[in-house]
Amino acid sequence: MRIVAGSARGRRLATPKPQVKRGRKAGRGDGNHFDEVRPTSERVREAVFNALHSRDAVVGARVLDLFAGTGALGIEALSRGAGHATFVDRTPVAVSLVETNLEACGLADRATVVRADGPRWLGASSDVWDLVLLDPPYGYEEWDDLLEVVSHHLLGPKTLAGEPGRGASTGIVVVESNHDVSVGSGWHVDSRRRAAGTVVTLLRPVPGPD
């Protein structure tokens, strides 16, 4: 698996060997190892970032890769010019892989890696981001709660002087799943496409009342 484009184009990413247990669904692990690795494929990443590029959503962006896994999504964003990326995953294997891959791509100086349960960590965080990447294990069912938390951590518009402005958030959320994810009335589905068996949805928050 390689980085598709940007400064680290062609760099190979380290991935763990799958450890599949009979009767268990694919996921990101039990805290000690991955039961089955499902990193975002090059084809899917290319589709995601082509869509983001057309919206001028990557260069200079503050990025959150909440279910980081190997870090492929966040590292792709950094390679394409994102200003900084925060990677969060609860497994030590994933954290080690992300750190290894960042070093191999020469991007560690623009990244923060956190070992934690992603949704819980985000709920306690005071940070905000331009771009949030969500690729939880297939079968994840807590989308309503997760998106509610995410909605409070997207950067809003800025004035020409760089100060916070008024109006709708300019942030974008990328959702990857094996099925169409239903979202609440607080979200606008900017695009939805299927690639290599994965549904990729781009969301923007609906402006609230002034």
Q: What is the pLDDT of residues 52-94, one digit of tens each?
A: 999 999 999 999 999 999 999 999 999 999 999 999 999 999 9
Q: Is residue 130 part of a domain?
A: yes
**Segment among 18-27, 79-88, 135-144, 189-198 with least mean pLDDT:** 18-27
> For residues 152 and 161, what is the distance between their CA atoms, to the nearest angstrom?
23
Q: Is residue 31 part of a domain?
A: no
Closest CA to 143 of 163, 119, 120: 119
131 SS3 class: strand
Q: Is residue 12 part of a domain?
A: no
Please report, for the chain, how many H helices and E strands are present, in that order.
5, 7
Q: Is residue 19 part of a domain?
A: no
Q: Tell me what percent of the residues of the chain surpass a pLDDT of 90.
A: 63
Q: Is residue 9 part of a domain?
A: no
Instruction: Read off φ and ψ for residue 74, nearest 5 degrees.
Output: -65, -35
Assess whether pLDDT exceeds 60 at residue 21: no
Assess whether pLDDT exceeds 90 at residue 36: no
174 compared with 209, residue with greater pLDDT: 174
| Contact (CB, 8 A) for 6 and 79 | yes
88 compared with 159, residue with greater pLDDT: 88
The tally of domains found in the chain comes to 1
DSSP state of 157: -
CATH code at position 134: 3.40.50.150
Closest CA to 33 of 72, 90, 84: 90
Q: What is the pLDDT of residues 89-121, one digit of tens each?
A: 999 999 999 999 999 999 999 999 999 999 999
Mean pLDDT value of segment 110-133: 96
Tokens of 174: 């990328």
Q: Is residue 7 part of a domain?
A: no
Mean pLDDT value of segment 181-208: 88
Position 13 scores a pLDDT of 95
Position 158 scores a pLDDT of 44
Instruction: Kindly tell me the burial class for residue 109, based on how many C-beta atoms sit within 10 Å of its own C-beta (0-12, 13-18, 19 or more).
Output: exposed
49 SS3 class: helix
Instruction: Kindly tell me the burial class for residue 190, based on how many C-beta atoms sit within 10 Å of its own C-beta (0-12, 13-18, 19 or more).
Output: middle
Position 169 scores a pLDDT of 59
Q: Is residue 184 part of a domain?
A: yes
Assess whether pLDDT exceeds 60 at residue 125: yes
| Contact (CB, 8 A) for 186 and 153 | no
Q: Is residue 177 part of a domain?
A: yes
Mean pLDDT value of segment 174-187: 90
**Domain span holding position 65:** 42-205
